[in-house]
Structure 1
Amino acid sequence: MEALKLKTVDDLLAASVERIELMNGELIKRPMARSEHALVQSGLSDETLPFKRKSSSGGWWIMTEISVRYTENHCPTHDLAGWRKERVPARPTGIMETLPDWVCEITSPGHERKDLFTNFMALQRYQVPFYWVISPEDRTLIAYQLVGEHYHVVFSVECATAEQVKAARIPPFEESGIDLGYVFFGNHE
């Protein structure tokens, strides 16, 4: 029996298909983009805009659909990821090779295990300080913070209405409230 050969970043870059990522040495097909996913992703990107606009002190580089090379065999594409500008002062380019300070994944039906288990375990192992998981269908957000070597829940909510959580103070963005009504329902006020 032949040993399984782990795929590398070179294999990912050479792949002829789009919408794949490298997870634990395996090329994984990413789910088709859906409007629910895209609207939550763009809504959260809008809500983090004040942090993107700040200079190094308190500022962030926040990107959507960004590939991060953790190792030669692990290069997932995160729905959103952020780096503090005081740690990464120059505008990033290419595939990120610097550990993010925050990652947010938005679940897709049938792919929940990837975000709730596989990514959770990998990001905890690589010591990413903050990890959020959002479900557009359930309108839930769970925020984890690394404490020592393990993630702990620091915020969780299920939004039943747009008015329920207007200014959620969620680490690492607790200085400015995130309007989850806007993120989940698209309501503008």
Structure 2
Amino acid sequence: MEATELKTVTDLLHSAEERIELINGEIIKRPMARSEHALIQSNIADEVALFKRKDGLGGWWIMTEISVKYNEHQCPCHDLAGWRKERVPHRPTGIMNVIPDWVCEITSPNHERKDLFHNFILLQRNKVPYYWVISPEDKTLIAYELDNEKYHVTFSIEYGAELTIKKARIPPFAETEIDLQYIFGDD
């Protein structure tokens, strides 16, 4: 049995392929973006834009489709990720080598395992304080917060027509209400 050579971030950077990421030492092609995915990603970016405009305390660098290097064999591309400006005062460039303060993943059909298991474990191990997972197909949002090095659910919702909660304060952006109708494209 032949051992598989793990790929590194250097291999990722030298690849001619596009829409790829490095997961467990393997270069993986990302799924094609669908309108549901793009709409939710755009709408979340709109909802948290207030925090991008602040400097210092309370301000964030929030980026879409950003690659984050956790180690030589782990460099996923997150749908959205954010860094507090008080911790990262200057605008980041290139592949991020700084652990995010918040990551939001939007699941894609047949790729849910990466967001629900792999990223959950990777981010928890690397002590990313906040992790959101959103499913456009199921219209669900689950927000996790790190507590004693383990993720705990701080907010979860299955969005539907009978839902009475239209807005919610979700950590780490609990300072303002997040418009769930807008996020799920029901405005």
- Written as runs of structure 1 = structure 2, the 5 A alignment for 1:74-113 is 74-113=74-113
SS, match of residue 73 in structure 1: coil
- Going from structure 1 to structure 2, the CA distance change for 1:38 and 1:90 (only over 3 Å counts) comes to same
**Could you say what the CA RMSD is over the residues aligned between the two structures, in angstroms?**
1.2
Question: 2-side partners of 1:186 and 1:53: how far apart?
Answer: 26
Aligned to 1:123: 123
Q: Return the offset for 1:15.
A: 1.1
Question: 2-side partners of 1:5 and 1:109: how far apart?
Answer: 28
Aligned to 1:29: 29
Contact 1:161–1:181 (Cα < 8 Å) also in 2: no
Question: 2-side partners of 1:181 and 1:41: how far apart?
Answer: 14
SS, match of residue 43 in structure 2: helix
SS, match of residue 103 in structure 1: strand
Q: Return the offset for 1:83.
A: 0.2
Q: Return the offset for 1:149.
A: 1.5
Contact 1:54–1:60 (Cα < 8 Å) also in 2: yes
Aligned to 1:52: 52
SS, match of residue 154 in structure 1: strand
Contact 1:154–1:171 (Cα < 8 Å) also in 2: yes
1:30-64, Cα deviation, whole Å (9 max, x unpaired): 10010000000000000001000111110000000
Aligned to 2:166: 166
1:76-133, Cα deviation, whole Å (9 max, x unpaired): 0000000000000001111110000000000001111110001111111111110000
Aligned to 2:41: 41
- Going from structure 1 to structure 2, the CA distance change for 1:164 and 1:181 (only over 3 Å counts) comes to farther
Question: 1-side partners of 2:53 and 2:164: how far apart?
Answer: 27
> Larger deviation: 98-107 or 152-161?
152-161
Letter of the 1:114 counterpart: K
Question: 2-side partners of 1:48 and 1:115: how far apart?
Answer: 21
Which 5+ residue runs of structure 1 have no aligned equivalent?
none
Query: Could you tell me the TM-score, scaled by structure 1's length?
Result: 0.96
> Larger deviation: 50-59 or 159-168?
159-168
SS, match of residue 39 in structure 1: helix
Percent of residue pairs identical: 69
Letter of the 2:8 counterpart: T
Contact 1:9–1:74 (Cα < 8 Å) also in 2: yes
Query: Could you tell me the TM-score, scaled by structure 2's length?
Result: 0.97
Q: Return the offset for 1:162.
A: 9.3
Please identify runs of 4+ aligned residues in structure 1 that moved more than 2 A. 161-167
SS, match of residue 131 in structure 2: strand
- Going from structure 1 to structure 2, the CA distance change for 1:141 and 1:170 (only over 3 Å counts) comes to same
